[in-house]
Amino acid sequence: MIASLPMYWRPEFAQYWRGFWRDVQAVLPDLPDLTAAEDLPADWYAHWSAPDLALSHICGLPFRQHYMERCTYIGSLDFALPDTPPGYYHSLIVTRRGETRPDRDLTLAYNSADSQSGWGSTRGRHFGRHLATGAHFLSAQALVEGRADIAYIDAVTWRILQQLRPDLCDPLELHGHSTPTPGLALIAAPGRDPAPLRAALCTALDRLPDTARAAMGGPVGLCQIPMAEYAALKIPPAPPG
């Protein structure tokens, strides 16, 4: 079996994710150790499709596009984001300070075309140019370096970024947030009973120290979001070019 929680994983804060997982394993001792995001295969789609997947974290866009009928949905972590329903998340709209030009003159930095937070959350805005960066952290860096003008950055990632890279956050300005959408899904291989995993995750979340909670972006609970709420979101077109 294999387990990972890659979506908000940062090597600098890996100890907190591993500590959280040890509390999950204390309830379910048969679970494998957590595999670091940097040790996963380059093709995360193959990882999410693994027949021995004990648990993983998947973005809402590939989840609803490819995996809703091909996995066991365990739940969605709730990060208590302001103005956002439990289990949902949003992206912060970020520019360099003082940026006021119209969208047609801006370069959008986005982490990847299959990201709900970085690309799907733009929802109909049309920008002059597009820059794929590979990560939200790198999108923020592209803004600071002047290679892009605007980005949609996952609000949980922004919390982590503020702790690890204030040098990237300080030159940037927030302009509200995107419409909240169902959060990143926790999934397991088809046929797995979700109830024991849900109970173990809730137990581990209850034990999570405040220091760990902050380093992990602020998880406070586990929600079950109806599949209809994921399915209701349209699949966005690919970025131009």
Could you report the per-residue pLDDT of 55-89, keeping only the tens digit for each?
999 999 999 999 999 999 999 999 999 999 999 99
Q: Do 70 and 103 have their domain in common?
A: no
Asked if pLDDT for residue 90 goes beyond 80, the answer is yes
Could you report the per-residue pLDDT of 173-197, keeping only the tens digit for each?
999 999 999 999 999 999 999 999 9
Q: Do 129 and 153 have their domain in common?
A: yes
Could you report the per-residue pLDDT of 13-66, keeping only the tens digit for each?
999 999 999 999 999 999 999 999 999 998 999 999 999 999 999 999 999 999
Number of domains into which the chain is organized: 2
Asked if pLDDT for residue 198 goes beyond 80, the answer is yes
Task: With respect to residue 241, please indicate whether it lies within any of the assigned structural domains.
Answer: no
Residue 202 confidence class, pLDDT cut points 50, 70, 90: very high
pLDDT of residue 104: 96
CB 68 within 8 A of CB 25: no
Task: With respect to residue 9, please indicate whether it lies within any of the assigned structural domains.
Answer: yes
Residue 241 confidence class, pLDDT cut points 50, 70, 90: confident
Mean per-residue pLDDT over the chain, rounded: 96
Task: Show the domain range for 128.
Answer: 91-177
Full 3-state SS string of the chain: CEECCCCCCCHHHHHHHHHHHHHHHHHCCCCCCECCHHHCCCCHHHHHCCCCEEEEEECHHHHHHHHCCCCEEEEEEECCCCCCCCCEECEEEEEECCCCCCHHHCEEEECCCCCCCCCHHHCCCCCCEEEECCCHHHHHHHHHCCCCCEEEEEHHHHHHHHHHCHHHHCCEEEEEECCCEECCEEEECCCCCHHHHHHHHHHHHHHCCHHHHHHCCCCCEEECCCHHHHHCCCCCCCCCC
pTM of the model: 0.96
Task: With respect to residue 70, please indicate whether it lies within any of the assigned structural domains.
Answer: yes
Q: Do 98 and 171 have their domain in common?
A: yes
Q: What is the mean pLDDT of residues 153-182?
A: 97
Residue 124 confidence class, pLDDT cut points 50, 70, 90: confident
